[in-house]
């Protein structure tokens, strides 16, 4: 008679997954050795600014190396479960000349960065929706001004301010403590103030 764990493994098609959990046997303790992680050598593969350790950990105790905190005035929202995508289109004017193949390219400037933040807001309790965190994030997204952003990853691109263009909050079936989000932004630079001489 198969056990409940075996029913779950077969029901989700996990019998083909080769992990130490299944190799060792269901319900048996795992002996973890350095060889279990392939070529991972520890601190040498961690980000340089982390000092060998992550500054934060998730609810599961796993290290968090990339996060984003949105701020405006005294409001803030910390996004720890987030993936960021950065892209940029350069502003170039092309001019076609008669009798010449190709075109003349005139570089104008670097365009704004298009930044996508995708992730989830996860409640601590498995049965509670993260209402407070969701309300804080929504208030920030509705601000009609540029937001400050604190992120080691975005700092690589000298991005400190974002303007939110659109956002999406899809529901996920079967999860009552998780709210997915997709936020699209463009970078904004600090205004240059020139005083009269």
Residue 183 sits in the same domain as residue 153: yes
Residue 71 sits in the same domain as residue 149: yes
Residue 31 sits in the same domain as residue 60: no
For 169-190, the pLDDT digits (tens) are 998 888 888 999 999 999 998 6
Range of the domain at 166: 47-187
> Domain of 104: which CATH number?
2.40.30.200
Residue 109 sits in the same domain as residue 139: yes
| 162 is a domain residue | yes
State yes or no: pLDDT of 99 exceeds 80. yes
| 95 is a domain residue | yes
The answer to whether the predicted template modeling score (pTM) of the entire model surpasses 0.75 is no
> Domains in the chain: how many in total?
2
**Span 64-84, average pLDDT:** 89
Residue 103 sits in the same domain as residue 149: yes
Buried b (16+ CB within 10 A) or exposed e, 160-180: bbbebeeeeeeeeeeeeebbe
Q: Residue 109: which pLDDT band, with cuts at 50, 70 and 90?
A: confident
pLDDT (0 to 100) of residue 12? 57
| 195 is a domain residue | no
| 65 is a domain residue | yes
**Span 10-32, average pLDDT:** 53
Neighbours of 11 (CB within 10 A): 8
For 123-174, the pLDDT digits (tens) are 888 788 999 999 999 999 999 999 999 999 999 999 999 999 999 999 888 8
Residue 78 sits in the same domain as residue 155: yes
State yes or no: pLDDT of 16 exceeds 70. no
pLDDT (0 to 100) of residue 110? 86
Residue 92 sits in the same domain as residue 148: yes
Listed in sequence order, the DSSP H helices in 115-180 are: 131-141, 152-155
């Amino acid at each position: 008679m198969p056990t409940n764990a075996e029913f779950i493994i077969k029901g989700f098609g996990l019998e083909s997954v080769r992990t130490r959990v299944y190799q060792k046997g269901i319900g048996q303790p795992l002996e973890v050795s350095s060889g279990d992680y392939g070529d991972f050598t520890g601190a040498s593969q961690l980000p340089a600014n982390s000092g060998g350790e992550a500054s934060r950990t998730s609810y599961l105790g796993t290290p968090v190396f990339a996060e984003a905190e949105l701020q405006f005035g005294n409001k803030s929202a910390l996004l720890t479960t987030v993936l960021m995508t950065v892209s940029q289109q350069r502003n170039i004017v092309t001019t076609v000349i008669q009798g010449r193949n190709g075109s003349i390219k005139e570089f104008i400037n670097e365009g704004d960065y298009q930044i996508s933040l995708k992730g989830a807001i996860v409640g601590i309790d498995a049965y509670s929706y993260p209402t407070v965190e969701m309300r804080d994030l929504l208030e920030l997204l509705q601000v009609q001004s540029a937001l400050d952003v604190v992120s080691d990853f975005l700092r690589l691109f000298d991005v400190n301010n974002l303007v939110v263009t659109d956002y999406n909050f899809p529901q996920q079936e079967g999860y009552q403590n998780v709210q997915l989000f997709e936020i699209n932004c463009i970078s904004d630079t600090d205004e240059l103030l020139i005083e009269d001489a």
